[in-house]
Amino acid sequence: MNSKLFVGNVSHDITENDLQDMFTEFGPVTEVNLMMDRATGRPRGFAFVTMATPEGAQAAIQGLSGKSVKGRNLTVNARARSVAVEAAEAEAVEAAVMVTEAAANRAHGTECLSAVPWRCPNFEASAVKRTPGRIG
Share of the chain above pLDDT 90, in %: 49
Looking at 18-22, 83-87, 100-104, which range is the least confident one? Answer: 83-87
* Domains, in order of start, for the chain: 4-78 (3.30.70.330), 83-127 (no CATH)
pTM of the model: 0.58
**How high does pLDDT run on average in the chain?**
78
Q: Which residues pair with 36 in a beta bridge?
A: 43
Q: How far apart are CA 54 and CA 56, in angstroms?
A: 5
Distance of CA 60 to the CA centre of its chain: 20
Q: What is the 3-state secondary structure (H, E, C) of the chain?
A: CCCEEEEECCCCCCCHHHHHHHHHCCCCEEEEEEEECCCCCCEEEEEEEEECCHHHHHHHHHHHCCCEECCEECEEEECCCCHHHHHHHHHHHHHHHHHHHHHHHHHHCCCCCCCCHHHCCCCCHHHCCCCCCCCC
Mean predicted confidence (pLDDT) in 97-112? 59
In this predicted structure, what is the pLDDT of residue 11?
A: 93
